[in-house]
């Protein structure tokens, strides 16, 4: 894709010694807030179902990944080519029903096989628990859904709790219910909050006009 090649050239120019002073000072750590911010802006655009905004925000998120690649090359840690090739190999490896000999049209089989393949990959041998693969930086609701799914999948016994549930325990129970019903709780909460915000803004505007 010619557009991708041209974008890489722009990124290289910005990160060259005589490029943008701000760009060439960035590190993995300084870029961390930006990739989180861009990811949330993509989610906001998706919630709005705004194609034009999604194009822009997905582009910003995409460039942040490229930016990380530029920093990695500058620091001689790894290359953009390694990122792309690692992804390509992973997609082929995890889709044997498309690129291999496995024959199935069942989504459940595909997901189960994906999990089995993923479990054999990378640093699996270094993990002491099936929960170790869940990113620590996830938001509490999203992390909660992933953790509780794993726990239920392995049929672990529930831990003992007092009769008087704390608010946090009630939230955990709500997350479990969302998992049972196949609901993305974080997206649902975000959607409801956006409606609350819109309602308040409308009230706020009317109040000022009065």
The reported pLDDT for the residue numbered 6 is: 96
Write the burial class of residue 69 (CB in 10 Å: 0-12 exposed, 13-18 middle, 19+ buried). Answer: buried
With a CB cutoff of 8 Å and minimum separation 6, the contacts of 171 are 144
Give the pLDDT confidence of 90-126 residue by residue, as tens digits.
999 999 999 998 899 899 899 888 888 887 775 555 6
Token digits of residue 146 = 């992933």
Give the helix ranges, DSSP H, for 75-180. 80-93, 96-99, 107-120, 140-153, 167-180
Task: Tell me which of 152 and 64 has the higher pLDDT.
Answer: 64
Q: What are the domain boundaries of the chain?
A: 131-209
Contact indicator for 134, 150 with CB cutoff of 8 Å: yes
Determine the 3-state secondary structure of 29 from DSSP.
helix
pLDDT reported for residue 121? 76
pLDDT in tens, 6-40: 999 999 999 999 999 999 999 999 999 999 899 99
Q: Which pLDDT does position 125 carry in this prediction?
A: 54
Choice between 63 and 128, residue whose per-residue pLDDT is larger: 63
- Dihedral sign for Cα atoms in the order 55, 60, 66, 69: negative
Model confidence over 180-207: pLDDT tens digits? 999 999 989 988 988 899 899 999 988 8
Q: Report how far apart, in Å, the C-alpha atoms of 178 and of each of 155, 186, 193, 206 are.
A: 18, 10, 17, 36
CB 148 within 8 Å of CB 157:
no
Residue 19 zone, left/alpha/beta (φ > 0; ψ -120 to 50; rest): beta
Residue 54: both structure tokens together: 């999604």
For residue 68, count other CB atoms closer than 10 A to its CB. 20
* pLDDT (mean) for 43-58: 93
């Amino acid at each position: 894709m010619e557009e991708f090649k041209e974008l890489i050239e722009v990124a290289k120019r910005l990160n060259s010694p005589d490029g943008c002073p701000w760009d060439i000072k960035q590190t993995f750590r300084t870029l961390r807030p930006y990739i989180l911010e861009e990811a949330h802006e993509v989610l906001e655009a998706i919630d709005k179902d705004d194609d034009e905004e999604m194009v822009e925000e997905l582009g910003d998120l995409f460039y942040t990944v490229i930016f990380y690649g530029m920093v990695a090359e500058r620091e001689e840690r790894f290359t953009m080519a390694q990122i792309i090739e690692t992804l390509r190999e992973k997609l082929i490896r995890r889709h044997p029903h498309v690129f291999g000999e496995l024959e199935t049209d069942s989504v459940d089989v595909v997901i189960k096989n994906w999990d089995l393949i993923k479990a054999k990959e990378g640093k699996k041998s270094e993990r002491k628990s099936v929960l170790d693969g869940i990113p620590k930086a996830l938001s509490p609701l999203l992390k909660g859904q992933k953790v509780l799914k794993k726990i239920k999948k392995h049929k672990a016994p529930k831990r003992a709790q007092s009769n008087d549930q704390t608010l946090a325990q009630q939230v955990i129970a709500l997350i479990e219910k969302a998992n049972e019903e196949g609901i993305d709780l974080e997206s649902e909460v975000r959607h409801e909050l956006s409606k609350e915000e819109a309602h308040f803004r409308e009230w706020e505007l009317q109040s000022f006009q009065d």
